[in-house]
């Protein structure tokens, strides 16, 4: 009986340790990626962190596309507000982004390229407007130097989250095995 209790308690402790060390970082303008990020956080017991720009993106879609095009063309990484102080405690970081011009949104590129994720397992997921994930996952691996990037990410159209919960659970399990 004592042995069984020890095993049960041990498993519970192990499960909560995994949960405590997982973060979901995301950027979102119109809420689609935020919704997906919330599903991932709930499925994995992870903490949520919203990436925010120091200077927010313009409100009009046309202006957003123009600015994103310019930033991607000249390699600008727009400054973001500080990430959580305790970020070093997370081993696994899910990173959510809208697809922008076939790649990760520029604020997410800033986060990926910052070096803060070095040595961590990074699992990307994206929402898009019909073009699919495009180069997002491969670009995540290129930008995040020294990270263990899972390139089999998840992508969803608009605010749809089909299969996301299962994918998140499976991805976390594989990452900690």
Ligand X SMILES: Cc1cc2nc3c(=O)[nH]c(=O)nc-3n(C[C@H](O)[C@H](O)[C@H](O)COP(=O)(O)O)c2cc1C
Question: Where does this chain bind ligand X (CB under 6 A)?
Answer: 28-34, 61, 64-65, 68, 98-102, 127-131, 158
**Minimum distance between the CB of residue 67 and ligand X, rounded to whole angstroms?**
7
Query: What pairs with residue 50 in β-bridges?
Result: 26
**Minimum distance between the CB of residue 30 and ligand X, rounded to whole angstroms?**
3
β 92-100/22-26 pair status: parallel
Q: Which of 56, 170, 157 is nearest to 98 (CA)?
A: 157
Coil vs helix vs strand at 143: helix
CA pseudo-torsion sign 122, 140, 36, 161? negative
Q: Which is nearer to ligand X, 22 or 34 (CB)?
A: 34
Instruction: For residues 78 and 108, give the distance between their C-alpha atoms in angstroms, rounded to a whole number.
Output: 9
Q: Which is nearer to ligand X, 10 or 131 (CB)?
A: 131
Q: Which is nearer to ligand X, 22 or 33 (CB)?
A: 33
Please provide residue 169's backbone torsions phi and psi, each rounded to the nearest 5 degrees: -60, -45
125 alpha carbon, distance to own chain's centre? 6
Q: Which is nearer to ligand X, 32 or 140 (CB)?
A: 32
**Minimum distance between the CB of residue 32 and ligand X, rounded to whole angstroms?**
3
**Minimum distance between the CB of residue 136 and ligand X, rounded to whole angstroms?**
9
Q: Which is nearer to ligand X, 18 or 48 (CB)?
A: 48
Residue labelled with tokens 């399990």: 173
**Minimum distance between the CB of residue 107 and ligand X, rounded to whole angstroms?**
10
Q: What is the dihedral of CA 59, 107, 37, 16, to 10 degrees?
A: -150
């Amino acid at each position: 009986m004592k042995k069984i209790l020890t095993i049960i308690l041990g498993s519970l402790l192990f499960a909560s340790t995994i949960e405590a060390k997982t973060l979901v970082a995301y950027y979102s303008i119109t809420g689609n990626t935020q919704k997906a990020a919330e599903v991932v956080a709930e499925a994995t017991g992870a903490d949520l962190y919203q990436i925010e720009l120091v200077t927010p993106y313009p409100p009009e879609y046309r202006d957003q596309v123009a600015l994103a095009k310019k930033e991607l063309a000249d390699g600008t990484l727009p400054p973001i507000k500080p990430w959580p102080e305790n970020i070093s405690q997370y081993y696994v970081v899910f990173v959510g982004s809208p697809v922008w011009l076939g790649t990760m949104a520029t604020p997410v590129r800033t986060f990926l390229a910052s070096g803060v994720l070095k040595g961590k397992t990074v699992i990307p997921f994206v929402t898009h407007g019909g073009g699919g994930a495009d180069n997002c996952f491969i670009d995540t691996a290129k930008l995040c130097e020294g990270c263990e990037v899972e390139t089999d990410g998840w992508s969803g159209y608009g605010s749809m989250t089909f299969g996301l919960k299962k994918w998140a659970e499976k991805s976390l399990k594989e990452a900690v095995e």
